[in-house]
Structure 1
Amino acid sequence: MSKVIVITGASSGIGQATAELLARQGNKMVLGARRESRLQEIVKKIKDANGEATYAVTDVTDLASVKKLAQTAMDQYGKIAVWMNNAGVMPQSTFIEGRVEDWNRMIDVNLRGVLNGIAAALPIMRKQASGHFINTSSVAGHATHPGGGVYSATKAGVLMISEALRQEEAQAQSNVRVTVVSPGAINTELVNSITDPNVKKGTAQYYDQVAISPDQIAKSIAFAINAPESASINEIVIRPSKQA
């Protein structure tokens, strides 16, 4: 059965791979990201393959912008079956460097972006009495390391937000499911968001050795979405086999 699926951070990486896979499965895609040219390319690719897709330029740190994305889905298709909060940045550095702007950016995109997505989509799902949130966390939300403190904190926050949301919707008997996806090293543009040159170099070298394709994450997300509505797959932790 075709579903209306909204994805933020859809212009590259996991978001793009998931959008293209789900479109091939016959779903109607509504894509949000900041880079309009990339969104246009992806929507054209989906349509050229006889899929359905539209987009709205979206800044997940701005609630009005996220609500506009939700309204785009409602205007075009009249429903939101799945909302994937996927936008994220990872400018890691040690605390002594005091990269406060990087810290704030991670908090705004990785945490506030998820909350804005929930604020925009949950009332719609409650009214429908059905829906599904896919929230992208990270293996970094389960364990941290020097230089990764703030990033790990934001991704652990996504886990806690998602679990509280799951419990609330279960109590409300709203038929709104919640799935957290916690990827390991994936071959995306995320490394490009690292501003510390030494950390960026080391991370890039590590990713070159172990990272896997975002297509593999997309398949796991599709599995969760396609599960029977009476079952909720709460978290998928997926990393390269080579990643310790």
Structure 2
Amino acid sequence: MSNTLEGKVVLVTGASSGIGQATALAVSKAGARVAVGARRADRLKTLAEDAPGEVLVLELDVTDRQSVQDAVAATIERFGALDALVNNAGVMLSGMILDADTTEWTRMVETNLLGSMYAVHAALPHLLASKGAVVQISSTSGRASSAASGVYAATKFGITAFSEALRQEVTTQGVRVIVVEPGFVSTELASHITDPDIQAMAKTMAESMRTLQPEDIAGAVLYALTQPEHVAVNEILIRPTDQTR
């Protein structure tokens, strides 16, 4: 194993903050050429300035299939190949099922689940050519559902199901599929929750523990991507030590 991704090309979605931003920086430091995509392209420009290696900034909306296809095409045009896709774009709009604003459900399904599926679909021919890797950023909610996280958990369970089918389809062709399931991470994710009670609950829970940092998850992604080609780290469950469930 080596900690280098020298000469490799990595596309990271949802790279404008949090885990995506930290992962883009980590793989850049490891020598990769990185394409970073997000809706907030202005934030990506700062990331590109901070990264030590070559970075391609892409305005990307994963819910728009054409936007995803264009981002992959632009990555190939710029770098000539694609070695890893890090599917990180996601939203967590927690809330109870009764009286829910179902437009939030649609947004979570379109971003977290369909968005990651669109990205895999667009990237896969190139990843097969390079014997590359797909990294799916899931969640502990992809293993255990709980009250007020029904739809978010459903999207993350969906990612796990899709990823396992994908793994079975492509692993003998050299493409590795890696599902990373973080527990509480200190990111903007919970700040998008619109229900004030649920947001307060999430804040209290986060304050009750030493939360993970985005860099902790980036380190796990880097570990999986830098294993020898015959080693597939298919799943990484990573919680704060203080998190009980």
Which residue does 1:29 correspond to in 2? 34
Q: State the match for 2:165 in structure 1.
A: 164
CA separation in 1, counterparts of 2:20 and 2:177?
17
Q: Percent identity?
A: 39
The question of whether the paired residues in 1 share the 8 Å contact of 2:9 and 2:81 is answered with: yes
TM-aligned CA deviation for residue 28 of structure 1: 0.6
Matched residue count = 238
**For residue 124 of structure 1, what is the amino acid of its counterpart?**
H
The offset of 1:87, in angstroms, is 0.4
Letter in 1 for 2:37: G
- Does the Cα contact within 8 Å between 2:81 and 2:130 map onto a contact in 1? no
**Residue 207 of structure 1: aligned partner:** 206
2:192 aligned residue: 193
**For 2:223 and 2:208, how far apart are their aligned partners in 1?**
27
Q: Flag structure 2 segments of 5+ consecutive residues without an equivalent.
A: 1-5
Which of 101, 117, 120 pairs up with 1:115? 117
In the alignment, the residues of structure 1 paired with residue 109 and residue 31 of structure 2 have an alpha-carbon distance, to the nearest angstrom, of 34
- 1:33·1:39 contact (CA, 8 Å) conserved in 2? yes
The reply to whether residue 179 of structure 1 matches residue 178 of structure 2 is yes
Cross-structure match for 1:104: 106
Q: For 1:135, what is the secondary structure of its paired residue? A: strand
Please tell me the residue identity of whatever aligns with 1:189.
E
| 1:47-74 deviations in Å (ceiling 9; x for gaps) | xx3x111111000001110111111111
- TM-score if structure 1 supplies the norm length? 0.95
Alpha-carbon distance, 1:208 to partner:
2.4
Distance across 2 between alignment mates of 1:33 and 1:175: 28
Secondary structure of the equivalent of 2:98? helix
CA distance in 1, matches of 2:130, 2:17: 31
Counterpart of 1:146?
147
Cα contact 1:129–1:174 (8 A) shared by 2:
no
Shift in Å, 1:98: 2.2
For residues 2 and 99 of structure 1, the distance between their equivalents in structure 2, rounded to whole angstroms, comes to 45
Aligned to 1:56: 58
Q: TM-score under structure 2 normalisation? A: 0.95
Residue 81 of structure 1: which of 80, 83, 86 is its match? 83
Query: Aligned pair 1:130/2:131, yes or no?
Result: yes
- Partners of 1:16 and 1:98 lie apart in 2 by 31
Separation in 2, partners of 1:12, 1:151: 19
Distance 1:239 1:28 in 2: 29
- Structure 1 match to 2:3: none
Q: State the distance in 2 between where 1:17 and 1:66 align.
A: 21
SS at match of 1:109: helix
